[in-house]
A and B are shown apart, each in its own frame.
Chain A
Amino acid sequence: MLELFYIPEVILSIGVLLVIIIDLYLQKHKYISFFLIQLLLIIASLYALTEVPQQNYSSYEFSEFTSSIKFILLLGAIIIFQYTYQHLNYLNSLKIEYFTISILGLVGTMVMISAYSLLMLYLGIELLSLALYALIGFNKHSGLSSEAAIKYYVLGAMSSGILLFGISLIYGFTGSINYFDIADQIRNINSTSVQYLGIIFGLIFITASLCFKFGAAPFHIWVPDIYQGSLISTTILLSTLPKIGVFIVFLKLYFIPFMALEYVWSDILIFIGIASIIIGSIFALTQENIKRLLAYSAISNIGFIILAMALVSNDGLHASLYYTIVYSFTALASFGVVTHITSNSHGIEDISDLAGLSKTHPYFAILILITMLSSAGIPPLIGFHAKLMVIQALINNSYILISIIVVLMTVVSAYYYLRVIKTVYFEDRENLISTYTSSNILLSINVILLLGLGIFPFILFDTTSFLVDLLTVISI
C-alpha cells in the first residue's frame, strides 16, 4: 500500500498544498514558488517514468501505458507553465494560484487517464472541470473572460449531469461501474433485451458528454467563446492537456467496457469526426480573432482524432494516438509563439495584430510559418505525417469517400492557416509589435521539432507504435 504514496497524483496534490502555503510567505519572490512548482512537476514526471506497473484493476489502473501518457502530460505541463509564467509576468498579472489550480486540473486529467471505473472517471473529469472554471475566469478585468467562465460553468455542469445520467443507466443495467465487469456483462446480455437497450442509451449519454468535453461537433459551440474569453495561456492549457486526457478516456472506455457495442459507437464517432472536421474547417474561414481561429482549428483536429479512432482497427488506433500527440505538440508551439508577442502592449487578439511581423521580428515569423504549415498538413512537417496516417487508415479500411471529404477539408483549412502566414509575411506593419525576449530556447526546440520530426518521422512513429502495443495488451 505504501507504494501508492509515490504515484505522481499524490505527489502533485500534496506538493501543491505545500506550495500554496509557502507562497503566502514569499509574496515578493514569486519566482521561487514558480521554481518549486516546476521542480514538483519534474519530480512527478520522473516518478511517472519509474512507476511500478501493477496489474490490479479494481478501479484505478497503473500500467506502463498510463504512466507513459502521464509522463507526456507532465512534460507538456512543464512547457506550458514556462510559457505562461513569462506571459503573465509580462502582463503584470502573475499569481501563483494560477499554477496551483492548473496543477489540480492536471491531477484530474491524470485520474481520468488511470480511471478504471466510471465513478473514478467522473471524479477525474469533475476535478479537471472545476480547475478549468477557475482558470477561464482568471482574467478578472475582462468581461469576455467572466462571460466565458460562466458559459463554461453552466454548460460544463450540464454535461457532467448528462455523464452522470449515462453512468447511472450503465450501472443500473449492468450492476457494475468497473470497466472489466461492464465488458463481461455486456458480452453476456441478450442483444434483444430491454437491458441491452438501456446500456446503449447509457453509452450514448456518456458519448455526448465526453464529446462536449472534447469539444467535438456538434457539441462544440462553447469552444470558440471560451478560447477567446480566456487568457491565451489558459487557451494553451485548454487545447492540449484536457484533450489528451479525454482522448485516453475515449480509448479506454470504448475499447474496454463498450468493445462489444462497437457497431453502435463506431458509426456515431465517424459522424462526429466528419462533422467536426467540416465545421472546424469551414467556420474558421471568416474568423478574425486568432484564438477563435485556433479554436476552430482545434475542433477540426479533434475530428481527425475521433475519426481515426472510430475505425476500430490497429492502424486507426495508432493514427489517432499519433495525431493526438502531434496535435498537442503543434498547439503548444502555435499558441506558445503567440504568447510571446504583444501588439500595442496588449496580448495578440486579432490576426491583423500580427501584420508585418516578419519585418520586425523575423525569428518569430519563421516560428509562426513552421507551426502554421505544420497545422495545415504541408510536408515535410510533422502535421503532414499525422494527416497521412489518418487518411491511410481510412483508405485501408475502405472509407474512400470519407477520405476524399477529409482531404478536401484539409485544403479548405489550409486557407486560414495561409491567411495567418500572409498577414505575418506579406503585409505591412500596422501596430507596434513587441516581444519580451528576442528568442526562446524552449520555444525554438518546440518548433524545430515540428520540422525535425517531419524529416525523421520514425522517431515519434516508433514511440507511438510502442504505446499502441501496450494498449492492445490491455484491451485483450
Chain B
Amino acid sequence: MLDYPILSILIWLPILVGLILVASNDIGKSLSTVITLLTTLIILIISVKLFQSYDYSLGNLQFVERFVWISGLNIFYYLAVDGISVSLVLLTSFINFLIAIYASSEDYNNKSSYLGYFLILEGLLMGTFSAFDSILFYIFFESLLIPLFLIIGIWGGENRKYATIKFFLYTFFGSVLMLISIIYLANLADSFAIEDFYYLTLSFEEEVLLLLAFLIGFGIKIPMWPVHTWLPDAHVEAPTSGSVILASVLLKVGGYGMIRFLLPITTEAGIYLSDYMIYLSLIAIIYISFVAFAQEDMKKLIAYSSVAHMGFVTMGIFLVFNLMGNNPTAAAIGLEGAMVQMISHGLISAALFFCIGIMYKHSHSRLIKDNFGVAQFMPIFSFMMVFFLMANSGLPGTSGFVGEFLVITSSLGSSFLFGFLAALSLILSASYSLKLGKNVLFGDNQKNSQGYLECKSNEKIVLGTLVIFVLYLGISPDVLFNLLDKSVSDIISSISIGKA
C-alpha cells in the first residue's frame, strides 16, 4: 500500500494538464508536445508503480480511496483497483504514451488542444477503470464521449460530422439505459457502491430487464453485432491517434463494464439467456470476419476485424454463464481469455492503426487499391506490419493467439459446436489479414507508389515497442495470468454468491 492517493493522481493529473493545454489555445507545437510526452511518461511510470505495488496474491480491491461526495444522494468518490483494473490501467497509460510519441512528429492545427483532449481522455479512462461507485463510474464512462467527439469532429476526415454524431448518439443511447439500471439497483441496495449490488436478491424478470439494459449499454460500446455500425464510421473519420485510442482502450470499457456489472449482478438471467448471447458473439466472430474481408478501405477492414475480435471477448464473458454450474474451471478460463484478448487486441489494433496512419501520410488514401508495393520503399515498416497482421490472425507465439486459444478451449467445455465455430475465426482472420498484407505491402504495381519513405524514428520506436510487447505476452503470458488469476476467481465466486 502506498501513502499517497495514487489513483487520484492517475486520473486528475492528465485531466488538469489537458485542460491547461486546451485552455492555453495553441501555445506552440513543440512546447505542447514536450508537456504531453512528459505527462504521459509520468503517468506510465506511476501506473507501472501501481502494477508493482499491487499485491496480486490477494486479488481484492486495493488502493481504496473513499469519501462522501454528495451526501444527500449517498454518492461516494470511491476509487479502487483489482487485477482486472490494473491491467487496463497499464494498457491505457502505455497506449497514451505511444500516442504522445507518435504525435510528436505530426503536425495538426492547434496541436496543443489536440494533445490536451487526449490527456483528458486518458484521465477519464483511468477513472472509468478505477471507479467503484456506480454513479462515479457512469460519470467517467459518459464523459469519455466529449473529448473523443471533439477529436474526431475537429481533426477528422471528410465525413466526420455524420460519424461523430452517430457515434455520440449511439453510445449515449446505450448508456442512459444503463443509468436507469444503476439507479434502480441503487434504490434497492440503498447504496451506489458496485459491490453492494452483488448481494441483491432480484426477481427473474428484474434480472432479465437489467441484463438487457446493461447488454445494450455495454454492447454498443464494445461493440457487439448488430449495434456495431457506429464503429467503422468513427474509425474511418478519426485521425490516426483517435482511431488508436478508440480501438485499443475505449472498446475495452464495454468489456470491462460487462465483467463488473453484467456478470455478477444478473447471473440468473444470464444463465438463462447465455446461449443467445453466445450466438450473437459467434455472429460477430464469423459474419463480421466476412464483412471485413470485403472491405476496400484499410481502416474499415481493421475496424471490422476489431468487432470480430471483440466477439471473442463477449463470448468469453458469456461462456462464464454457460459453464458456471458444471465447470467453474472452464468458466474461469473463458473469463481470463476474454481479459487477455482485450489486452492483446489493445496492443495489436493500436499497432495496425498506427501502420495505416503512417501509410496514409504518404499515399493520402486509405483505400487498399491506392496503396501497393509498400514493402519496396519501407522494408522495416513492412516487416513490422506483417508481424502485426500475423498477430491479428492469432499466430501462436503472439499475444493474439493466447486469448483466442483460451476462449476456444473454454467454449469446448460448453459445446463442441461453439468451439468449432469460434475456431473458424483463426482461418477467417488470417484470410483478411493476409489479403490486406498481400495487396498493400507486396502488390507489384509500381506507378503511384513513389511517395513512400521509410518511417521516422519515433514511429519506429512506437511500432518496435508494440512488437516487443505483443511477442512478450505471446511467449510468456504468465505476467498477465498472475495479475488476473485471483481477481477473476473473485468475480466467479461473487457470481456464485449472487446465485446462492
Contacts and interface: CB of A to CB of B under 8 A. Distances in A.
A304 B25 CA distance: 37
Contact of B176 (A358, A366, A389, A411): A411
B150 interface: yes
Interface stretch (B31-39, B43-51, B70-78, B406-414): B70-78
A90 B8 CA distance: 46
Select the residue from A379, A410, A462 with max chain B CB neighbours within 10 A: A379
A161 interface: no
A407 B176 contact: yes
Given A391-B179, A457-B70, A426 B139 contact: no
A358 B155 CA distance: 13
Contacts of A425: 150, 153-154
Nearest to A422: B161
B135 interface: yes
Contact of B183 (A392, A421, A465): A392
Interface in A55-82: none
A373 interface: yes
A415 interface: yes
A379 B70 contact: no
A419 B164 CA distance: 11
A400 interface: yes
B72 A461 contact: yes
B25 A362 contact: yes
A116 B202 CA distance: 47
A409 to B, nearest CB: 10
A10 interface: no
Nearest to B154: A425
B187 to A, nearest CB: 5
Interface in B54-82: 69-73
B279 interface: no
Given A414-B168, A425-B154, A426-B161, A400 B142 contact: no
A403 interface: yes
A380 B123 CA distance: 13
B176 A378 contact: no
Contacts, number: 92
Given A425-B154, A426-B164, A410 B176 contact: yes
A458 interface: yes
Contacts of B160: 426
A51 to B, nearest CB: 27
Contact of A458 (B71, B161, B169, B186): B71
Interface in A384-428: 384-385, 388-389, 391-392, 395-396, 400, 403-404, 407-408, 410-411, 414-415, 418-419, 421-422, 425-427
B72 A379 contact: no
Nearest to A370: B146
B468 interface: no
Contacts of A407: 176-177, 179-180
A419 B162 CA distance: 10
A411 B169 contact: yes
Interface string A8-37: 000000000000000000000000000000
B363 interface: no
B173 interface: yes
Given A411-B176, A418-B168, A378 B143 contact: yes
Interface residues of B, number: 35
A380 B164 contact: no
Contacts of A410: 176
B284 interface: no
A419 B161 CA distance: 9
A415 B165 contact: yes
A461 B153 contact: no
B179 A414 contact: no
B135 A388 contact: yes
B69 A458 contact: yes
B172 interface: yes
A361 to B, nearest CB: 11
A414 B172 contact: yes
Contact of A408 (B139, B161, B176): B176
B222 to A, nearest CB: 19
A389 B145 CA distance: 21
Nearest to B165: A418
Contact of A378 (B25, B142, B165): B142
B188 to A, nearest CB: 10
A369 B143 CA distance: 13
B418 interface: no
A421 B135 CA distance: 26
B165 A422 contact: yes
B73 A461 contact: yes
Nearest to B209: A400
B138 interface: yes
B108 interface: no
Contacts of A421: 149, 153
A465 B169 contact: no
B204 interface: no
A425 B150 CA distance: 8
Interface string A356-379: 001000110010010001000011
Interface string B119-141: 00000000000000001001100
Contacts of B416: none
Nearest to A385: B70
B180 A379 contact: no
Given A392-B183, A392-B187, A427-B161, 16 more contacts: A358-B154, A362-B25, A378-B146, A379-B138, A380-B143, A388-B135, A395-B184, A403-B180, A407-B176, A407-B179, A411-B176, A414-B169, A418-B168, A422-B164, A425-B154, A461-B73
Q: Which 8 A-B pairs rank lowest in CB-CB distance, beginning with the nearest?
A: A407-B176, A379-B139, A426-B153, A411-B173, A395-B183, A379-B142, A458-B70, A392-B183
8 contacts: A379-B139, A407-B177, A407-B179, A414-B168, A418-B149, A426-B153, A426-B164, A427-B161
